[in-house]
Structure 1
Amino acid sequence: MTSEPLLRNPLKEKLSRGEPVFSMTVRLVRTVDIAAIAHAAGFDSVYIDLEHSSFPLEAAGQICMACTHLGVTPLVRVPGLDPFLIARVMDAGAMGIVVPGVQSADQAHAAVSAVKHAPWGERSFAGSAPQLHYRSLPSDQTIRALDETSMVVAMVESRAGLDATEAIAAVDGVDIVLVGASDLSGELGFAGQVDHPEVHKAFLHVIDACRAHGKTVGIGGMGGRPDLIRQYLDLGAGYVSTGNDISFLSAAAAQKRRQFDGGLA
């Protein structure tokens, strides 16, 4: 009889079954309510954006713990490869990190090393973990549970990152290579043109590299183009960053306001 694992990562499990997953970015809402909203809306994951917001770590940790209780996998996009910040993010309750602007295998290795404990990485062991509901467990069990379920998402957003995609995808411990179409289109000289042939060519290159190394391709910066998202899912991508809470609120507010145009005396 197989015992129940100490910790589960629903996002990782779904990807292992070959099912697409959909993520919501959190940049605005600082309270745990956003975890319940994401769950009710059917999102598999949220990632809290510390790169493009003033989000405090304490609020990020509270949302991460709420997500874990609801079966929504919490990730955090860190602003860079500072191992001390990454350790604090993970110790606060994240089940993985999103790293922007990865441009080499060495940077991908550094991200994995900051997330994982020895012998896989260099993260210091903090003891009882929020992901495990602060249960007091033997250290080896806690470390194994955390490292087996934690994730590293490497973002490719530049020419250098695109050139290094094969090497990045080959790094043990990288789970997803996420194409940031907004920044990448600008880097390629076609800012905002996420449907440009050169952006399409870049996606095909990342899909081929990830297929060769058994990694998941992520789609970012295309929340307004579900047609393109469907195209890349059909070509083998598996993770979709659908948009952020600011854009969702703004779009819903504008739609609601338009409902009243011409309808009032």
Structure 2
Amino acid sequence: MQNLVERVQAEGRGLLGTWVKIPSFETVQLIGHAGFDFVVIDMEHAPHSLDRANELVFCAQAMGMAALVRMPDQLGSTIQPLLDGGADGLLVPRVTSTNVADAISRRMVFAPKGERGLGTTSRAGRWGLAPMEDYLKRGDEQVLRMIQLEDWASVERAAEFAALPHVNGLFIGHGDLFLSSGKPASDPAVRELTAAMLAATKEAGIASGVAVGSPEEARSHLEQGFSLVMLSNDTTLFGQAVAEAAAAARA
């Protein structure tokens, strides 16, 4: 199995995804049928329980998509059960410290290199049927450990985060970046900062991620060379479609 970084390198293109906020198998299936490459199940800004997050991971993977999960916080209590549940990677929100990034990414890697415990009887280990070497290789080499940088000072230090031994992806959060700086993603200074972060990930050979609101922005960031581009989210995509259908019918 290739990890997402290997897929990007092998296919020569970035991958298109969206956030999953609706706790529904049906909407995840529709996203898969629409042709998305991956989803990120959002435990930070959506009311997903741990059980439902793991079920949505299974649903997305059954549809041929990679399934990442954005953790609810930096406490790390969900790391082991989500990785045991077979998630293809985890996003850690609102990281501002390289010490925090280093510590939490170590918990996603098996001992002795890291601090993750053995759980071969989990779904990630095919309920005990996977060879040990396959289980360990997937955990250490094929799981995305992506740190979200969402304030100006942290994004400026992207190269420092990219150099951490167990971090293999950086994600720029333009939404919270706007809250702290007052500058939208379209601002020239933000574009320059974004390009610098992207360059840092390429130099380090790790994945890069960004979230955008429109297909035009998605195409632009894919053309820039981002590994993972998140287009909108399920609630907005389905909500807009329903609103447009109703407005067109009434017109």
TM-score (norm 2): 0.91
Of 148, 151, 156, the match for 2:141:
148
1:194 and 2:185 are equivalent in the alignment: yes
Aligned positions of 1:20-59 closer than 5 A: 20-28=14-22, 30-59=23-52
* Separation in 2, partners of 1:219, 1:54: 22
1:260 and 2:240 are equivalent in the alignment: no
Residue 210 of structure 1: how far off its partner (Å) = 1.4
1:173 and 2:163 are equivalent in the alignment: no
Q: Which runs of 5+ in 1 are unaligned?
A: 1-7
Contact 1:10–1:72 under 8 Å retained in 2: no
Contact 1:23–1:47 under 8 Å retained in 2: yes
Q: Which residue of 2 aligns with 1:122?
A: 115
SS at match of 1:259: helix
Report which of the two structures shows the higher radius of gyration computed on alpha carbons: 1
Q: Which residue of 2 aligns with 1:243?
A: 232
Alignment identity in percent? Answer: 25
SS at match of 2:58: helix
Contact 1:90–1:96 under 8 Å retained in 2: yes
SS at match of 1:240: strand
Residue 252 of structure 1: how far off its partner (Å) = 0.6
**Counterpart AA for 1:227:** E
Contact 2:169–2:209 under 8 Å retained in 1: yes
Residue 212 of structure 1: how far off its partner (Å) = 1.6
Residue 46 of structure 1: how far off its partner (Å) = 0.9
Cα distance change of structure 1 residues 31 and 230 upon mapping to structure 2, 3 Å threshold = closer
Q: Which residue of 1 aligns with 2:213?
A: 223
**Counterpart AA for 1:55:** H
Q: Which runs of 5+ in 2 are unaligned?
A: none
After superposing on structure 2, the runs of 4+ consecutive aligned residues of structure 1 that deviate more than 4 Å are: none
SS at match of 2:178: helix
Q: Which residue of 2 aligns with 1:4?
A: none
* Separation in 1, partners of 2:125, 2:37: 19
Q: Which residue of 2 aligns with 1:76?
A: 69
Contact 2:4–2:144 under 8 Å retained in 1: no
RMSD: 1.9
SS at match of 1:74: strand
